[in-house]
């Protein structure tokens, strides 16, 4: 069963409309074919019978390639040494020659799928003898191409701007399309493992055909969804089309929110200082330091204290005493009554002074904006490191077995844990400062976005609490935070974050 929008129909259109080749030059995406190549090592087959005794009913007419030509090609190149993957640690390729195939006629199955429609392609399936070798997968790929007169090009996906997911005319492609098909076919692995070669290929061909049939028969459901959510689709479509016409507009594919960064707030404060200098409303007490620079430097020192940067702390204290002279006596008193080590030195920022009138509202407002950005930056760092931690743990459990490799992985995890703890501590410091400053500045509503961070909140998306199951799992709030509270007006921010 063929998938929709077959290039063969497009070839017919080209032959009829050859005079429109100039237009075709600008719409070449119509003839692009996106495929996904993968292997499944669950679909093994034991050395039971032979092709001469049990031939297949279809000799390459369905999804499996013609077996005789396939075996001739492999035997002709049997002496080729498998090249190692240099771009990534691809064990299915790099360890192909080390896998044991004792007692097996096929160690798995390779396939070529349509990455747009998630369907099996004709003559795109074949048995594997040892791992995911290039010669096997190349044969399957080019066998599939015999049914398609199209150009196949590789393109570098570069973030959201140039992603194939978002470029006009590409359509929705799914690089993991084969994985969905494997989940559907894997239940047959135990029965097909004992079958004779011809019966096995015919059985799998039937299942692959049924998979394609289900995809086409469910297109009616997709049409119903389009009808039910027509208003939302029109609104989203307009946003996409506006961005495609003018790339300077808001990119609809970029995650909303998370625009509050410490660097952005510092830049904004610097522009405000420059504007005040231009209109003559700025009163500076130091030629190289403004109020915003003072508070910003204090936040940096908060992170540098544990590194014993005492020289920077001393120079900052001198500037602080220039702006707020009364703090000089307090600083002297604290120095006499406490430990003077740099990592425990009290910086006396506006949030640390509380309701004391030593600082004016201008300083408090500056620290508020910087602390708000610091909190969002810290949450972003926390989420990023939790993702890395989940990947390393999963990779370690699935692939590492010897003591040396496990030791190196544990050392890597220790470094990730340290970064997670550092990000959590930065967030807690910022949150404590916001709690102190909010009543002074009459700031409300921010607690709905920036909540207290407990240890149980610091967990990956897939982690479960003790009383949770997969069906009742709830995401930690750190995964649904976006940028500012206005994102949650229609409730889409949280839903999109969970999706």
**pLDDT tens string 318-348:** 777 777 777 766 665 555 555 556 556 667 7
CB 143 within 8 A of CB 110: no
pLDDT at residue number 453: 92
Q: pLDDT band for position 376 (50/70/90)?
A: very high
**pLDDT tens string 251-306:** 887 766 556 777 888 888 888 888 887 887 776 677 777 888 888 888 887 777 65
Q: pLDDT band for position 9 (50/70/90)?
A: very low
Q: What is the mean pLDDT of residues 466-487?
A: 65
Residues 51-56: contacts with CB under 8 Å, at least 24 apart: 51/197, 51/198, 53/196, 54/196, 54/197, 54/198, 54/199, 55/197, 55/198, 56/197, 56/198, 56/201, 56/202
Residue 22 pLDDT more than 70? no
Residue 35 pLDDT more than 80? yes
Give strand ranges (E) for 74-142: 104-106, 108-114, 119-128
Q: Which residue has the tokens 């030791």?
A: 407
Q: pLDDT band for position 162 (50/70/90)?
A: low
Helix (H) or strand (E) holding 336: helix 327-337
| Selected residue with higher pLDDT from 23 and 361 | 361
pLDDT at residue number 338: 53
**C-alpha 479: how far from its chain's center?**
13
Q: pLDDT band for position 386 (50/70/90)?
A: very high
How buried is 446 (Cβ within 10 angstroms: 0-12 exposed, 13-18 middle, 19+ buried)? middle
**pLDDT tens string 170-226:** 666 777 778 888 888 888 888 898 899 889 889 999 998 898 888 888 877 877 877
CB 137 within 8 A of CB 110: yes
Q: Indicate if the alpha-carbon torsion angle 168, 27, 34, 163 is positive or negative.
A: negative
pLDDT at residue number 79: 77
Going across the sheet that includes 108-114, the strands are 35-40, 108-114, 119-128
Stated pTM of the model: 0.42
- Highest mean pLDDT among 126-135, 355-364, 427-436 belongs to 427-436
Give SS3 for 488.
Answer: helix
Q: Which residues pair with 368 in a beta bridge?
A: none
Helix (H) or strand (E) holding 220: helix 219-228
Tell me the C-alpha to C-alpha distance, in Å, between residue 118 and each of 35, 103, 112, 455: 9, 33, 10, 41
DSSP classification of residue 457: G
Q: pLDDT band for position 487 (50/70/90)?
A: very low
**pLDDT tens string 134-154:** 888 889 998 888 766 444 444
- Minimum mean pLDDT among 39-53, 197-211, 223-237, 417-431: which range? 223-237
pLDDT at residue number 14: 44
Residue 357 pLDDT more than 60? no
| Selected residue with higher pLDDT from 205 and 166 | 205
DSSP classification of residue 449: T
How buried is 411 (Cβ within 10 angstroms: 0-12 exposed, 13-18 middle, 19+ buried)? exposed
Give SS3 for 291.
Answer: helix
C-alpha span between 300 and 321 (Å, rounded): 18
C-alpha span between 335 and 159 (Å, rounded): 51
Biggest CA pair distance of the chain:
99
Residue 427 pLDDT more than 90? yes
Give SS3 for 413.
Answer: helix
Tell me the C-alpha to C-alpha distance, in Å, between residue 362 and each of 62, 369, 441, 445: 74, 11, 10, 21
C-alpha span between 238 and 311 (Å, rounded): 55
Q: What does the chain come to in residues?
A: 499
Q: Which residues pair with 120 in a beta bridge?
A: 113
pLDDT at residue number 48: 84
């Amino acid at each position: 069963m063929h998938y929709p929008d077959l290039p063969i129909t497009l070839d017919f259109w080209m032959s009829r409309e050859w005079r429109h080749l100039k237009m075709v030059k600008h719409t070449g995406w119509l003839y692009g074919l996106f495929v996904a190549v993968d292997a499944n090592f669950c679909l093994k087959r034991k050395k039971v019978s032979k092709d001469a005794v049990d031939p297949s009913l279809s000799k390459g007419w369905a999804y499996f390639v013609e077996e005789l030509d396939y075996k001739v090609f492999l035997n002709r190149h049997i002496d080729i040494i498998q090249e190692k993957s240099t771009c990534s640690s691809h064990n299915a390729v790099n360890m192909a020659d080390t896998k044991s195939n004792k007692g097996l006629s096929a160690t798995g199955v390779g396939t070529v799928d349509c990455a747009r429609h998630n369907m099996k392609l004709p003559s795109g399936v074949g048995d594997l003898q040892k791992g995911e070798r290039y010669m096997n997968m190349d044969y399957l790929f080019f066998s599939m191409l015999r049914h398609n007169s199209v150009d196949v090009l590789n393109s570098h996906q570069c973030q959201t701007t140039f992603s194939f997911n978002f470029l006009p005319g590409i359509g929705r492609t799914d690089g993991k399309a084969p994985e969905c098909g494997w989940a559907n076919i894997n239940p047959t692995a135990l029965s097909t493992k004992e079958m004779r070669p011809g019966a096995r290929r015919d059985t799998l061909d039937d299942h692959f055909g049924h998979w394609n049939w289900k995809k086409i028969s469910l297109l009616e459901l997709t049409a119903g969804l389009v009808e039910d959510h027509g208003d939302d689709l029109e609104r989203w479509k307009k946003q996409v089309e506006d961005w495609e016409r003018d790339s300077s507009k808001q990119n609809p594919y970029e995650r909303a929110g998370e625009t509050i960064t410490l660097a952005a707030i510092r830049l904004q404060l610097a522009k405000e200082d420059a504007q005040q200098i231009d209109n003559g409303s700025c009163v500076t007490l130091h030629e190289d330091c403004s109020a915003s620079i003072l508070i910003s430097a204090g936040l940096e020192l908060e992170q540098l204290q544990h590194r014993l940067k005492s020289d920077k702390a001393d120079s900052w204290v001198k500037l602080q005493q220039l702006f707020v002279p009364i703090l000089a006596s307090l600083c002297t008193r604290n120095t006499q009554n406490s430990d003077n080590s740099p990592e425990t030195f009290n910086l006396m920022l506006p949030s640390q002074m509380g309701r004391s009138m030593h600082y004016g509202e201008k300083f408090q407002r500056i620290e508020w904006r910087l602390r708000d950005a610091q909190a969002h930056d810290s949450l972003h760092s926390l989420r990023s490191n939790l993702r890395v931690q989940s990947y390393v743990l999963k990779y370690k459990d699935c692939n590492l077995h010897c003591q040396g490799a496990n030791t190196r992985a544990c050392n890597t995890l220790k470094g990730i844990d340290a970064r997670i703890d550092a990000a959590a501590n930065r967030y807690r410091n910022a949150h404590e400062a916001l709690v102190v400053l909010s009543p002074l500045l009459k700031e409300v509503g921010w607690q709905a976005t920036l909540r207290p961070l407990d240890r149980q909140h610091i967990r990956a998306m897939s982690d479960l609490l003790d009383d949770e199951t997969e069906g009742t799992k709830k995401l930690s709030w750190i995964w649904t935070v976006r940028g500012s509270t206005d994102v949650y007006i229609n409730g889409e921010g949280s839903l999109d974050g969970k999706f």
